[in-house]
Amino acid sequence: MICSNAVKQTMTSRTKSEEATPSSKENEPWRLTSREEPLLRTAHKCVRHIANMEWAGACLFYVLQGCARGADQVAAAHLCFQFSQRWATLQPGNRALRQMERLYATLSTRHALHNIDWACEEFIRLSTEPAQLIHAMYLHPDFVDKIARYDVNRAANEIADKNNINISTIRIQILENLLQKSEKETETSPGLNTKELITAKYILRATCSKMAAIYLSRIALDEECEFNKCKKLRAFQCLMSVVDPDTAVKVTNRERDSLWSLLLELLYVVNLEKIDMPWVVATFVQDKVHALQQLLQVANGNIEGLKIAAALALRYGDAHIIRELIPLLVRASLHDEVIPLLLKYCHILDEVIYTAWRAVMLTPFQRADYPITERQKKKCLKVLNLLPVCPLIKDEDLLEIWKHCVRCKCLGLGCLVLPYITPQTRQKLTELQKIDRRNLIISIKNLHAESYLVPGAMIALENLGSKTHR
């Protein structure tokens, strides 16, 4: 009786001293560190001397209710749980054990969420459903941002441990969810996007690297498995991008270059199936060049088909196929797909290649508005940076670029072509004589971080000024 009264008086006096605080218990901030260790130790010692187990348990629960939200409340719940375990050995079938176990697990789960600053309403609501909570954490839209600041794997381990669930099984299920996208998601993106790859890498970091490699390789490489090709592709992406390279090579018993070739081949097959060309897929597995020829026969006007054809041509195509494909790409305004092909076969110099280069270089300027948007400016800079490697460019084309820059009032951008215009033509650019030279130099220098053509443009402009002065 003396011990129970001591516990009661201690908690009553403590509660009275805090009654002046206007905030209610629900609005009280969650404390991450304990401030009541002496109180809890004292309460624990007193309760051990109480013979009546039910009365002792009530005292401990009274202490728990009086503790501040956070670490102290979790510690008090742990004392209650330990006491209920001892009580259950003396009185089997006592409901207090199950109740205290659930309460301790719930408070510990919430504490783990607060430790990573992720105690949002959705997660607090799921704190009594730990498996669903861990799934929601790993698949949350803010997951990638959160792991940059906190150890979410550790928090998940803690939640699983306090709730007696198998975290490894949950992580494999989450990985399976990433690999097994819905049909609608597959139509949009057959592979894994960057966020999904980061999530997979973070999950696999907390598992055995060898076991992860075995699991992924069985999906990606086992020909007898009935997995759809999109799932195989995602598993292959994880295997190559997430798993340690040496481990992947050992588990699959294949060289890394061979694995990359298989991944690319699977990617092309998935993309060909996506545009509903199964007959090309069958040929592609046996003969890449012949499959590319088949694709060219039916891809004209099919944007997605032409994009796949460009990717295949870059890897497997010869000069004849590429020369046949380039006009189709130019006609469809797929300039981003044309550029790698032009760079790969820059030794081919004929009217077809010249027309393609001209379209690539001029189109961004022809489509630019006044005032030029940031996106349009980036596209213009992208093609201007190709000038040093462009084998075919004429003064008349460069003059057209200059005129569009004058129209859009971005002469600093236009000055990047000056080193590639012949001196005679350069003297005819009357706009350079009218504009304030100081402002022009500033606008050119502002492009320094976006283009390596700036130093050459500055020299050309300086030489032009010297000749004009003379």
Which tens digit of pLDDT belongs to each residue from 311-344? 999 999 888 889 899 999 999 999 999 999 998 8
User: What is d(CA 180, CA 184) in angstroms, rounded to the nearest whole number?
Assistant: 12
User: In Å, how far from its chain's centre is CA 128?
Assistant: 30
In a domain, 83, yes or no: yes
If one compares 430 and 147, the residue with the highest pLDDT of the two is 147
pLDDT at 438 over 90: no
Q: Is 102 exposed, middle or buried (0-12, 13-18, 19+ CB in 10 A)?
A: middle
The pLDDT of residue 90 is: 77
Q: Are residues 140 and 85 in the same domain?
A: yes
Largest CA distance in the chain: 110
Q: Are residues 331 and 202 in the same domain?
A: yes
Q: Are residues 52 and 111 in the same domain?
A: yes
Residue-range definition of the domain harbouring residue 60: 2-16+33-165
Q: Token pair of 241, please?
A: 């991008």
Q: Are residues 226 and 151 in the same domain?
A: no
Query: What residue has token string 């996106």?
Result: 375
Q: What is the pLDDT of residues 269-297, one digit of tens each?
A: 888 888 888 788 888 888 889 999 888 88
User: What is d(CA 84, CA 68) in angstroms, rounded to the nearest whole number?
Assistant: 22
Q: Token pair of 8, please?
A: 């009661």
Residues recorded for the chain: 470
Q: Are residues 313 and 388 in the same domain?
A: no
Q: Are residues 155 and 11 in the same domain?
A: yes
Q: Are residues 11 and 144 in the same domain?
A: yes
Q: Token pair of 297, please?
A: 């026969």
In a domain, 132, yes or no: yes
Instruction: With beta carbons less than 8 A apart as the criterion, state whether 103 and 89 touch.
Output: no
pLDDT at 7 over 90: no
DSSP 41: H
Cβ-based neighbour number of residue 376 at 10 Å:
17
User: pLDDT confidence of 470, banded at 50, 70, 90?
Assistant: very low
User: In Å, how far from its chain's centre is CA 396?
Assistant: 44
The pLDDT of residue 4 is: 47
User: pLDDT confidence of 433, banded at 50, 70, 90?
Assistant: confident
pLDDT at 199 over 90: yes
In a domain, 282, yes or no: yes
Cis peptide before 371 (omega within 30 of 0): yes
Q: Are residues 124 and 150 in the same domain?
A: yes
Q: Mean pLDDT over residues 235-253, rounded?
A: 87
In a domain, 27, yes or no: no
Could you tell me the CA-to-CA distances from 312 to 289, 332, 360 in Å, in that order? 9, 17, 20
pLDDT at 35 over 90: no
Specify the 3-state DSSP secondary structure of 350.
coil
In a domain, 326, yes or no: yes
Q: What is the pLDDT of residues 220-232, one digit of tens each?
A: 887 766 668 888 9
User: What is d(CA 233, CA 268) in angstroms, rounded to the nearest whole number?
Assistant: 10
Q: Token pair of 311, please?
A: 């990717």
The pLDDT of residue 225 is: 64
Backbone phi, then psi, for 6, in 5-degree steps? -65, -45
Instruction: With beta carbons less than 8 A apart as the criterion, state whether 133 and 127 touch.
Output: yes
In a domain, 105, yes or no: yes
Cα torsion 191, 195, 198, 203 to 10°: value is: -90
Q: Are residues 336 and 299 in the same domain?
A: yes
User: What is d(CA 232, CA 130) in angstroms, rounded to the nearest whole number?
Assistant: 30
Its sign, for the CA torsion 229, 232, 237, 240, is negative
Question: Given phi > 0 = left and psi -120 to 50 = alpha, else beta, which region is 228?
Answer: beta
Of 67-81, 354-368, 451-465, where does the model show the most confidence? 354-368
Q: What is the pLDDT of residues 166-196, one digit of tens each?
A: 999 999 999 998 888 777 677 777 888 889 9
Q: Are residues 288 and 306 in the same domain?
A: yes
User: What is d(CA 285, CA 428) in angstroms, rounded to the nearest whole number?
Assistant: 57
The pLDDT of residue 468 is: 46
Please, what is the Cα angle at 70 between 68 and 71, to 5 degrees?
Answer: 105
Q: Mean pLDDT over residues 137-147, rounded?
A: 94
Instruction: With beta carbons less than 8 A apart as the criterion, state whether 417 and 402 touch.
Output: yes
Q: Are residues 46 and 195 in the same domain?
A: no
In a domain, 362, yes or no: no
The pLDDT of residue 466 is: 53
Q: Are residues 388 and 428 in the same domain?
A: yes
Q: Mean pLDDT over residues 254-269, rounded?
A: 90
For 43, residues 6+ apart whose C-beta sits below 8 A from its C-beta are 7, 10, 59, 60, 63, 76, 79
Q: Mean pLDDT over residues 24-49, rounded?
A: 75
Q: Mean pLDDT over residues 257-269, rounded?
A: 90
% pLDDT > 70, the chain? 88
Instruction: With beta carbons less than 8 A apart as the criterion, state whether 407 and 372 touch.
Output: no
The least confident of 32-36, 63-67, 97-101 is: 63-67
In a domain, 245, yes or no: yes
User: What is d(CA 7, CA 30) in angstroms, rounded to the nearest whole number?
Assistant: 24
Cα torsion 431, 435, 438, 440 to 10°: value is: -50
Specify the 3-state DSSP secondary structure of 145.
helix
Single residue among 309, 325, 353 that ends a domain in this structure: 353
The pLDDT of residue 96 is: 76
pLDDT at 200 over 70: yes
The pLDDT of residue 97 is: 79
SS3 track for 21-76:
CCCCCCCCCCECCCCCHHHHHHHHHHHCCCCCHHHHHHHHHHHHHHCCCEHHHHHH
Single residue among 296, 325, 353 that ends a domain in this structure: 353
Residue 4 half-sphere exposure, CB side, CA atoms within 13 Å? 13
Q: Mean pLDDT over residues 93-102, rounded?
A: 81
User: What is d(CA 295, CA 221) in angstroms, rounded to the nearest whole number?
Assistant: 26
Q: How many domains, in total, are found in the chain?
A: 3
Neighbour-count burial for 140-152, b at 16+ CB within 10 Å, e otherwise = beebeebbeeeeb
pLDDT at 299 over 50: yes
The least confident of 85-89, 410-414, 453-457 is: 85-89
Single residue among 353, 382, 413 that ends a domain in this structure: 353
User: What is d(CA 352, CA 159) in angstroms, rounded to the nearest whole number?
Assistant: 64
pLDDT at 8 over 80: no
pTM over 0.85: no
Q: Mean pLDDT over residues 236-262, rounded?
A: 88
The pLDDT of residue 171 is: 92
